[in-house]
């Protein structure tokens, strides 16, 4: 016989889990002790939400199951935002929450997670693929099978299990779950339609979304672009799926988009190949009806939004983008008849870049747009960047070039401020030898900056770039642009980021010149722990986020 807690941890270990991220509490103590005994490291986060973000970054970078854990009641509710962010990335994260003893359900209990208190099972349902309470040790095997299947199969995503304290202490017969391949190998039947639509195209364009990251279809989208001569643009969430230095790249479209991408669509596109995007308002910002393509080919797992954002003739290719693109290219490898000259469009973007450099003057705060050009110059090409939600990352979407696919991650759907801080920590723990950087802002740092202390404890040498202008910039400028005034967006007492970082045990640098950034980055790339580089940026600079209504 074996305790439920011991068997549960054994199954996590068989799934390859080396870390569990969380904050302890009485109902989950048996799991934490078992993790120690069985060689899984429990990483103490500074907040449960931060633990969930770290787990998500680990899952994304390692392409495997990750685990975040919190106690009953508020420990569980603090994880919910992280679960929502994990779902936006379809990240396979198991969220475990504690629960008071099942035998006491119905009594007045502190931090009650049942229907008589804060019903965590119900609260997690909208932000996970599966949420359930394990009500007996005998049911553990079946609940775990369901959870692993929902996390790792098809449209992957987070799952949640609530486990009462007395259930964790039950004796059960040990078991082993099969380690079978749970991947969905379904192939679309729409390839003849895709080929016929593309064969007639004269001005096609490819629009890549976050789903390309999720499926890892970097080589396939590049092959499609090169073999069929199709120009490429990315959504904000698709940033990093295609090198922006590639001769077929038009950069990003949507919020933070480039002049090159906008100009191309204004001149007309007859076929748009959408891969891994639901075409949200963030992705289509700046697109009016006159710019709609005549036809859309949409590769996506989920049919829910197909044909709704762009009401034009649509060929739907359902399933995993990587697998479907491989199949299409094997059937229809190329079409050299499409020839499009992008020189004029790329020149428009080059002119914008030149103007940004010209506008940066000495003796004042730095231009955030120019800062992104500087960072690109001094970070290695293989650096993986996690962009937080705010103006800072939209400047990167427009001005930070991608030289290797799979090196930039950003969420333009759920958009939780501060999540990238945790994502970067998890990613570094998954890939210790990889250079990892985080682009964040002072507003995001106020929310989840204490997780830098977790990075210090783990000796994780991440570079956190914090663009500081003393306000919630994206909201501030949006209110000014749309309403003529802003309220509640500026901090009366601004944070001194470098001092804050040092108080947490990290190295901190405060930069007000390009030379400061260069020196700090050089030091950071050689450091043995986290480095926080604060960059003082202009307060009145207009971010590239005003196309959204």
Q: Are residues 443 and 414 in the same domain?
A: yes
Q: What is the token pair recorded at 275?
A: 């891969």
* Residue from 367, 408, 91, 384 nearest 236 by CA: 408
> By C-alpha distance, which of 191, 198, 259, 186 is closest to 228?
198
Contact between residue 98 and residue 163 where contact means Cβ atoms under 8 Å apart: yes
- pTM for the model stands at 0.94
340 and 364 belong to one structural domain: no
Total tally of structural domains belonging to the chain:
3
Instruction: Kindly report which listed range (11-25, 101-115, 522-536) carries the lowest average pLDDT score.
Output: 101-115
For residue 460, give Cα distances in angstroms to 388, 416, 422, 478, 497.
18, 23, 12, 36, 19
Tell me which residue of 147, 64, 32 sits closest to 429, measured CA to CA: 64
Looking at per-residue pLDDT, the higher value among 388 and 287 belongs to 388
User: How far apart are alpha carbons 319 and 154 in whole angstroms?
Assistant: 8
Does residue 167 share a domain with residue 202?
no
Residue 320 lies in a domain: yes
pLDDT of 112: 75
Residue 366 and residue 338 in one domain: no
Clarify whether residues 486 and 459 are in a common domain. yes
CA–CA gap between residue 328 and residue 174 (Å, rounded): 45
As given in the structure block, the two tokens for residue 382 are: 């293989």
Instruction: Supply the pLDDT for residue 494.
Output: 95
Query: Quick one: pLDDT at residue 195?
Result: 92
Q: Which of 101-115, 170-184, 297-311, 402-416 has the lowest mean pLDDT?
A: 101-115
Is 527 found in the same domain as 389?
Answer: yes
Query: To the nearest whole number, what is the mean pLDDT of the chain?
Result: 92
Domain that holds residue 220: 191-344
What are residue 404's DSSP bridge partners? none
Percent of the chain with pLDDT over 70: 96
At CA 34, angle to CA 28 and CA 38, rounded to 5? 150
Domain end (from 319, 344, 369) = 344
Helix, strand, or coil (residue 468):
strand
Q: Residue 547 falls within a domain, yes or no? A: no
Residues 52-88: pLDDT tens digits? 999 999 999 998 999 999 999 999 999 999 999 999 9
**CATH no. for residue 271?**
3.40.50.1220
Better-scored residue on pLDDT, 543 or 463: 463
Residue 6 sits in the same domain as residue 76:
yes
544 is a domain residue: no
pLDDT at 186 over 80: no
The residues, any chain, with a CB within 8 Å of residue 123's CB and separated by 6 or more, are 76, 77, 80
């Amino acid at each position: 016989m074996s305790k439920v807690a011991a068997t549960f941890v054994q199954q996590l270990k068989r799934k390859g889990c080396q870390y569990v991220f969380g904050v302890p509490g009485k109902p989950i103590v048996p799991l934490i002790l078992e993790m120690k005994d069985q060689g899984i490291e429990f990483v103490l986060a500074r907040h449960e939400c931060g633990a969930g973000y770290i787990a998500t970054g680990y899952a994304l970078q390692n392409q495997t199951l990750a685990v975040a854990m919190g106690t009953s009641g508020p420990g569980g509710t603090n994880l919910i935002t992280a679960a929502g962010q994990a779902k936006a990335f379809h990240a396979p994260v198991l969220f475990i929450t504690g629960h008071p003893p099942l035998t006491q359900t119905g009594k007045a209990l502190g931090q009650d997670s049942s229907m008589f208190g804060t019903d965590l099972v119900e609260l997690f349902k909208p932000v996970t693929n599966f949420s359930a309470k394990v009500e007996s040790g005998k049911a553990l095997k079946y609940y775990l099978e369901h959870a692993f299947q929902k996390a790792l199969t098809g449209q992957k995503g987070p799952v949640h299990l609530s486990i009462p304290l007395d259930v964790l202490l039950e004796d059960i017969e040990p078991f082993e779950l099969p380690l079978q391949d749970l991947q969905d190998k379904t192939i679309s039947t729409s390839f003849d339609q895709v080929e016929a639509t593309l064969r007639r195209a004269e001005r096609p364009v490819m629009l890549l979304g976050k789903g390309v990251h999720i499926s890892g279809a970097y080589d396939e989208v590049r092959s499609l672009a090169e073999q069929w001569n199709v120009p490429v643009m990315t959504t904000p969430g698709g940033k990093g799926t295609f090198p922006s230095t590639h001769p077929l790249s038009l950069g990003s479209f949507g919020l933070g988009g480039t002049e090159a991408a906008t100009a191309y669509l204004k001149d007309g596109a007859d076929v748009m190949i959408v891969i891994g995007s639901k075409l949200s308002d963030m992705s289509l910002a700046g697109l009016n009806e006159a710019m709609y393509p005549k036809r859309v080919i949409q590769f996506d797992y989920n049919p829910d939004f197909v044909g709704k954002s762009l009401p034009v003739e649509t060929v739907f290719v359902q399933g995993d983008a990587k697998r479907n693109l491989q199949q299409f290219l094997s059937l229809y490898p190329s079409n050299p008849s499409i020839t499009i000259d992008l020189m004029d469009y790329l020149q428009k973007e080059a002119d914008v870049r030149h103007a940004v450099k010209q506008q940066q003057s000495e003796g004042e705060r730095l231009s955030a747009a120019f800062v992104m050009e500087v960072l690109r110059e001094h970070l290695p090409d293989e650096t993986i960047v996690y962009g937080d939600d705010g103006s800072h990352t939209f400047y990167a979407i427009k001005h930070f070039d991608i030289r290797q696919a799979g090196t930039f991650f950003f969420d333009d759907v759920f958009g939780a401020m501060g999540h990238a801080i945790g994502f970067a920590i998890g990613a570094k723990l998954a890939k210790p030898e990889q250079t990892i950087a985080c682009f964040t802002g002072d507003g995001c740092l106020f929310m989840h900056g204490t997780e830098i202390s977790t990075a210090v404890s783990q000796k994780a040498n991440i570079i956190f770039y914090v663009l500081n202008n003393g306000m919630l910039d994206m909201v501030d400028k949006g209110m000014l642009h749309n309403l003529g005034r802003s309220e509640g967006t500026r901090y009366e007492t601004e944070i001194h980021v470098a001092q804050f970082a040092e108080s947490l045990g990290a190295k901190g640098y405060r930069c007000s010149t390009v030379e400061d950034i260069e020196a700090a980055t050089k030091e950071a790339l050689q450091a043995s722990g986290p480095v926080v580089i604060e960059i003082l940026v202009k307060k009145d600079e207009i971010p590239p986020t005003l196309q959204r209504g």
